[in-house]
Structure 1
Amino acid sequence: MTYFGLKDELPFYVGTYAKAEEPGIYLCGLDRQTGALRIVHHFAGILNPSFVRVNPEATRLYAVSEQGEGRLVSYKIDPANGELTALASLSSEGADPCHLDLLPSGDVIVSNYSSGVVSRYALGEQGEAAHMTAKAQQVGTGPIADRQEKAHAHSAVADGEGKYAYASDLGADKVFVYSLQEGGLAPHGEVALPPGAGPRHFVLHPNGRYAYGINELNNTITIYSYNRDAGILEIIDHSVTIPEDFTGESYPADIHLSEDGRYLYGSNRGHDSIVRFAIDAATGKLSDPDWTSTGGSWPRNFAVLSDYVLVANQFSGNIVSFKRDAETGKLETTGQELAVSQASCIAPVLG
């Protein structure tokens, strides 16, 4: 029996902002009976591993090192205990990488925030990101001078077939679409958002008809019609992520769908909440927003499971578990939390 084989505890890795000599990546466990959380291991040796992802087989973990000369680091996962062994460290080909995604082929796509560069990597014999196969320089500006003075690639998300990637650029107010054929990042199209929206993260609905993007600078979620075969997005509508009576500053961050595609969730940094929307299956539009306090400050990232939601509150340095009602999609606090300094990303091991 390996650690990953335990039925009652879900393992997940946590990325953070940390010095290289400090613990930066954590392996944690969620007790699915009580919502209790614990740290299993922690690992040092990487500066600011702010975004991490585990491959579907749970044999490799990939992490960005968010710094001026960004890095992409690959790790081998020991199935017996979840411990990490570094395999390779490559340049991310840009500044301050903040997001990565995995293609069905295993290739890794990295988004470099400060330089507006999206880069793609093929895997080597050990499953490590071994060499860059393509790089795209995004260009554009927006009306908010101190945030949109140039392109800022915040995420690039591949579809389930590995045909297209959708790159949200906070600085350019655009989602850039790339063709992924033959190891490339070939320009395929783009969608312009309302000026000052600041697109950040993006999800594709499993029905292949809709997509959703969360916008950091104007507190909205954009609903898109989505043609999976053609790689085409068209804006349908926008929904506000914060209550009408909230007057403080807030900056949305992360976005996820429930496994059944019935509900959409977004995090609000400042309002410090997770908002849940019901999805109209016929139109893709959002309704019935419901807000839950995250029990901390600055919810940068979260994960939605069938029965729980896990939230990483960066500024308060805590991870909080919430029970999720599968029928209504609503969240209920478990009273369980875990101290993890500068927690910035949660990557469940679902394999």
Structure 2
Amino acid sequence: MAEASTSYTLYIGSYGEAKDPTVHACRLDGGTGELSVFQKIAGIEQASFLAVHPAGSMLYAASETGETRGQSGGSVHALAIDPQSGELEVLGDQLTHGEHPCHVSLSFDRQSLYVSNYSGGNAAVFPLEADGQLSEPASALVSGEGELGPAADRQEKPHIHSAGPVPGTPFVYICDLGTDSVYMYRQSADGRSLLKAGTARLEPGTGPRHAAISAVRPYVYVAGELDSYVNVLRMDKETGILESVQRISGLPKEFAGTSWAADIHLSPDGRFLYMSNRGHDSIAVFAVNTDDGTLTAVEHCPTGGRTPRNFAISPDGSWLLAANQESGTIHSFRRNADSGKLDPAPASLRIPAPVCICFA
């Protein structure tokens, strides 16, 4: 349990125009769950996703637009993090070579930044300087391919939604909502390109969105946006090949409405999995079988608002913060380390259209 004096720095991205503050630097009180904003950054239109460099020196923000400075595609921004205050300084940006970038992540060796372009149907690889600066244009692009899924309104073409590096390996798993596929890539030795290793095809109409990748066991958990299922996949650590183990719904059996899965994360100890549901407006909680990676439903916790597009778990696992996009609120939940269950705290924070939470 976090001490009352414990404080965490985190960053929240939100949708908005360039004139609006779309990146918020915040503090979380580890004793009460209260959130406060200490800096607002404007100039980054539609800040859809954030990632912090493992060294804690840099924040990267995707600008989910279809056009940047008269050129087709979005952009990704680099912001320096002050090591004492946590305040941000915007350094610059690069074009992503694809429309509507919606996800950013760091390679396992910190050499590269991966940016997923949803409408562009591709992912861009950006080489990083030793200090994490984003000074070079993209060195490689990988594109979605294969048979499209059956949902004509959402799967009319490839839609790359995220790239997830596998801890301690050169493998990267890329989720393509449009083709119901998870592509397996191996990072090149210099970090400047990705080499195709295989494809895992999920059930038609799954719509793979994000993946939670275990750091200690060979399992990958993929959130299916379109069918609200979690897909449990076993990973061969030598080849990167994925094998389906289980599919389990993230919604209660009695729910008959419309809902789309969004974000997915493992607890720091890997014993519980969490997935957010937009429509049912809940966090689905699962217990992880540490022997075979399979899941058992624990509970569905309401997020206190509408459309929980994103959430994050504090580094010590004590708190889960849910970003409710349509209601413009961030809600704090105390997490029980033994049961995995979530207990809503009185604390909440209002930010227009929050869509990403990232702890420093």
TM-score for the superposition, normalised by structure 2: 0.93
Number of the residue aligned with 2:171: 164
Number of the residue aligned with 1:133: 139
Please say if residues 298 and 341 of structure 2, whose CA atoms lie closer than 8 Å, have aligned partners that are also in contact: no
**Structure 1 residue 121: Cα displacement:** 0.6
Alignment of 1:170-249 (within 5 A): 170-182=177-189, 183-249=192-258
Please say if residues 73 and 88 of structure 1, whose CA atoms lie closer than 8 Å, have aligned partners that are also in contact: yes
- 2:174 pairs with 1:143: no
Number of the residue aligned with 1:307: 318
Q: Name the CA distance, whole Å, in 2 between partners of 1:87 and 1:268.
A: 35
Q: Name the CA distance, whole Å, in 1 between partners of 2:334 and 2:130.
A: 40
Q: Name the CA distance, whole Å, in 2 between partners of 1:162 and 1:117.
A: 22
Q: Secondary structure at the match of 1:346?
A: strand
- 2:352 pairs with 1:344: no
Please say if residues 222 and 232 of structure 2, whose CA atoms lie closer than 8 Å, have aligned partners that are also in contact: yes
Q: Could you report, residue by residue, the CA deviation over 1:237-260 in whole angstroms, capped at 9, with x for unpaired residues? A: 100000011111000000000111
Q: Name the CA distance, whole Å, in 2 between partners of 1:127 and 1:223.
A: 33
Q: Secondary structure at the match of 1:261?
A: coil
Number of the residue aligned with 2:299: 290
Match 2:16 to one of 7, 15, 18 = 18
**Aligned CA-pair RMSD:** 1.3
Identity of aligned residues (%): 39
Alignment of 1:108-127 (within 5 A): 108-124=113-129, 127=132
Please say if residues 88 and 128 of structure 1, whose CA atoms lie closer than 8 Å, have aligned partners that are also in contact: no
Q: Secondary structure at the match of 2:265?
A: strand
Q: Could you report, residue by residue, the CA deviation over 1:30-80 in whole angstroms, capped at 9, with x for unpaired residues? A: 111111111111110110111011112221000110000210111111123
Number of the residue aligned with 1:3: none
What residue identity is the alignment partner of 2:105? D
Number of the residue aligned with 1:153: 160
Please say if residues 288 and 295 of structure 2, whose CA atoms lie closer than 8 Å, have aligned partners that are also in contact: yes
Q: Name the CA distance, whole Å, in 2 between partners of 1:208 and 1:249.
A: 33
Segment drifting more, 118-127 vs 328-337: 118-127
**Structure 1 residue 229: Cα displacement:** 2.8
Number of the residue aligned with 2:288: 279
Alignment gaps of 5+ in structure 1: 1-5
Q: Name the CA distance, whole Å, in 2 between partners of 1:125 and 1:328.
A: 41
Match 2:107 to one of 100, 103, 106 = 103
Please say if residues 5 and 29 of structure 2, whose CA atoms lie closer than 8 Å, have aligned partners that are also in contact: no
**Structure 1 residue 161: Cα displacement:** 2.4
Please say if residues 148 and 171 of structure 1, whose CA atoms lie closer than 8 Å, have aligned partners that are also in contact: yes
**Structure 1 residue 181: Cα displacement:** 1.5
Structure 1 residues 7, 158: CA separation in 2 closer, same or farther (over 3 Å shift)?
farther
Number of the residue aligned with 2:70: none
Q: Name the CA distance, whole Å, in 1 between partners of 2:319 and 2:199.
A: 35
**Structure 1 residue 126: Cα displacement:** 5.2
Please say if residues 208 and 228 of structure 1, whose CA atoms lie closer than 8 Å, have aligned partners that are also in contact: no
**Structure 1 residue 209: Cα displacement:** 1.7
The number of residues matched between the two structures is 344
Segment drifting more, 304-313 vs 130-139: 130-139
- 2:37 pairs with 1:39: yes
Q: Could you report, residue by residue, the CA deviation over 1:88-118 in whole angstroms, capped at 9, with x for unpaired residues? A: 2111110100001111332100100001111
Q: Name the CA distance, whole Å, in 2 between partners of 1:143 and 1:105.
A: 37
Runs of 4 or more consecutive aligned structure 1 residues displaced over 3 Å after TM superposition: none
Please say if residues 268 and 274 of structure 1, whose CA atoms lie closer than 8 Å, have aligned partners that are also in contact: yes
**Structure 1 residue 288: Cα displacement:** 3.0
What residue identity is the alignment partner of 1:30? L
Q: Secondary structure at the match of 2:322?
A: strand
What residue identity is the alignment partner of 2:141? K
What residue identity is the alignment partner of 1:71? S
Q: Secondary structure at the match of 2:45?
A: coil
Number of the residue aligned with 2:335: 324
